[in-house]
Structure 1
Amino acid sequence: MKPAAAGAPYRVPPEPSRLPAFLLAVAVHAVLLGFLWFGISWQSNEPVAVEAEVWDMSVQSAAAPELPPPPPPKVEPQPEPEPAPPPRPVEPPPVERPAPTPPPDINLQREKERKEQEKRELAEKKELEQKRKEEQRKQELAEQKKKEREEAEREKKELAKKEADDKKKADEKKKADKLAAEKAAKEKAAKEKAEAAKLAKIAQDELKRISGAMGTSGSAAKSTAPKADAGYVAAITAAIKSATAYGGSTTMPGNPKAVFKVEQLPTGEIMSVRLVKSSGVPEFDRAVENGIKKASPLPKKKDGTVERTLDVNFSMKDYD
């Protein structure tokens, strides 16, 4: 076929004829059938002819005429090979027959074994449950101990912190108390110093007054003191008695008595207390001495004056 000229319209080539292919297929099948027929005929064998003669020894007779030869066997065509047998059907599984009922004693034995097996399984189950509970209890106990340790550590830390805070506060309080005590001591010392200076001035003025009243010769003779004022003595006794605290027994025989020498300023302030005669009971002596000091300043007379020196006598029965 010539190629189409440039610019010419394209033409579809005609479809080739199928007859040659069909004839070729018929020829191939014919050859195949010939080969099959030749193979089947080649494998067929002719049957072997068998001849037998029978002789009778007792009777002799004329020979029978010969029979005509048998016709040749007819060759039968070889049958075509049988097709493959179909697959063998699957046989259903045999049905199991129920086991025969065993005798009663075997049933009892099996029932006993079953019960024993159930008991063993129940015992194993209980044992496993007990082990599980034991493990759980151990775990809970360990967790509780851990919490207790943590709580103890926390409390220990809190206690240490509290002790540190308390110690700090105590130190601060101690320091503040020390400063306050020092301040109070300084103030008290200054106050006592001022009071001592005031009392010294008053005493000096009183001495000057007494010296002026006695004259200026410089040598004063000892004179007898005026008669004591009963009201003045009673007031001093009541003040000292109310300030004295004696918790001992006052039923001792002989009514012990303590005698003190008291020096006071014109204002009634006590300058000194000296034990002249002991009662024989130190506790009583100390109680009366402390009571005299606590009663300062002592009461004055009606005219506002005081006795510079007093002899104070107290017996145990005075405190009954």
Structure 2
Amino acid sequence: MIRKNSAYPLQPPRERGTWRAFALALVMHVLLGFFLYHGIQWQNSTPAGAEAELWTEVPDITTPRPPPPPVPVAPAPPLPDEQADIALQEKKRQQQEAARQAQLAEQQRLQLQAQQEAEAKRQQQLAADQAAQLAAQKAAATKLKQQQQQAEKLKQQQLAEQQKQDQLKQQQEDLQKQAQADAQKKADAQKAAKAAKAAADAAQAKKLDQERRARLAQMQGMAGGEGSTGNGLAKSGTGSGSGGTSTSPGYADKVRRMVRPKIVWSGDTQGLETVVSVHCAPSGTLLSATVTRSSGNQQWDDAALRAVQLTDPMPVDTDGKAPASFLITLRPAN
């Protein structure tokens, strides 16, 4: 720390016995003055002498000559003891003055040294403060750089994560598209399989119908050969009818109401008539259905036969049993 300048000037330290020395010096000066005064007074006293008259020729002098100047009287030298005391006092005074000057110079030197040391400390403190400030600025710059690097690294990580998420999303979309494509392929395959199965079933049904038709024709031939009589086959002029052994009058309408909605036909309706022979179990389970008389239109015959096959089981009669066999005559609706 720098010591502030005092409001009072620097003063040498007081020596002990200063007033006593001053009093002794004053006494010595008074004594010295007294001795000097009396010494000079003693030298100026006129000594006693003899009087004499001398007669000489007086020269002719028009102007008087000035009197001779008085002879200066040298002061009486001081006594040896007084000179020694004066010299001692003067030497002592000079020593004291030299000591005071030396002490003052030492104080000034110490003060200057203290100021220099304080200035050096201040400069060191200032340098330390500047170094600390520079270090703080450098640390702040380093920290800011690290924060920027961390922010950039985090940004890169976020970008990489976003790209990864985009890739995963794209992969999921591709997987979904692939799954949809696979599902579509599977559906197409199942549809094709169903279509093939339907075609195979239709071919099998057609083959069964042909076999049933052959068996029915064989049975009808056998019945005609034996000359049997009874309730024969009946036709209905309304386009659907039924006949058979022990059937009630309303059974034909019951069969018609069940078969007609299942006929799917959008072609020509003129002159088409198909007779289908049906064999059932007592519970109404369809055993066989064959076309016994074709209309001449194969497509209409197939539609009529398919409608009969879809009506399984057949309705039972009033006695709670279905007829064993009967014929159905089918025509397109006008």
**TM-score, scaled relative to structure 1:** 0.31
In our comparison, the structure showing a higher alpha carbon Rg is 2
> When you count helix as a share of all residues, which structure comes out higher?
2
Higher relative contact order (CA 8 A, sep 6+): 2
